[in-house]
Amino acid sequence: MNRLRTVKLGLSPYAVCPVVFFVLLALFAPQIASHDPAQQAVADALQGPSMAHWLGTDYLGRDLFSRLVFAARTSLVAMAVVLASALAIGVLIGSLAGYVGGWIDLALVGVIDIMMSLPSLIIALALIGIVGPGYGAMIAALTLAWWANYARMSRAVVAGEVHQPHVEAARVIGASSLWIFCRHILPGVLGVVLVYASADAGALVLAIATLSFLGLGVSPPTPEWGQMLVDGMNYLEDAPSLVILPGLALTLVVVSFNLLGEAIALQKLPRAVRRRALSPRIRARAEEERRVNPDVQRK
């Protein structure tokens, strides 16, 4: 009996290209920006677009285009550091809970459940309120607020893999626990959590902008989209671009990462080969059977 096969679809360029664009924008911000983002020229404040300032200037005469470009670096670097740190902590704790089991598993699962019962932004706000606002404090707070979800997923994957036959066989032949985990279990854990991490990237960028908007994240004069939004609110009538452009940039980044996360998640789902793809194979096999057995009548 023929079995349905699956095809692995590549990521759509519509999902990859916007993210690549913003990553390149962040990497090459010093080369792309036309001015120093912190350079003030009060005499040129609130100017419109011109050859000298492509998108105009803000209330301190700083080049708006340069600040938008450097804000991409600020937000994406913070997002990457938070994701990497949260993944490392979550995979370590979740894998330890699922692999060791027993009372250690119960204790760690209890901590994970407590962390997941609280909204991540509330945890970040509480931690920043304790240690004080700042770029480093924001990254640490978001890391501690974000790791629990990855720990829960890692624990579930490890608990399901640790009793599989190939793991038991490796244990019987004398393989060490560290080798078994790194060779047979860790790849499956990373495959699951990285899919969710790609979907969380957009939410993290939005959380960074939210904390900066509230004055608890990135501090002036460092350019950041949330900080630029709150700075431009006082000049909304005179210079609406001070609010529209950072808001548009933030929206595009969040949508881009959400599309990428959705594309990666959908790629992991098995998809049956469609009938039109199966038909040529069926016809080719029928022709082969007719050549082998000439007595078969053609339909």
Inform me whether the pLDDT recorded for 282 exceeds 60: no
Answer yes or no: is 182 within a domain.
Answer: yes
Query: Looking at residue 228, which CATH number applies to its domain?
Result: 1.10.3720.10
Residues 6+ apart with CB under 8 A from 46: 56, 57, 58, 59, 235, 238, 239
Q: Report the pLDDT averaged over residues 177-181.
A: 83
Answer yes or no: is 7 within a domain.
Answer: no
pLDDT digits (tens, 9 = 90+) for 8-36: 445 677 778 899 999 999 999 999 998 88
Answer yes or no: is 42 within a domain.
Answer: yes
Q: Report the pLDDT averaged over residues 174-192.
A: 83
Answer yes or no: is 3 within a domain.
Answer: no
DSSP string, 96-123: HHHHH-HHHHHHHHHHHHHHHHS-HHHH
Residue 171's domain spans which residues?
Answer: 13-292
User: How many separate domains does the chain show?
Assistant: 1
What sign for the dihedral angle of Cα 219, 221, 225, 231?
positive
Answer yes or no: is 1 within a domain.
Answer: no
pLDDT digits (tens, 9 = 90+) for 108-126: 999 998 888 888 888 888 8
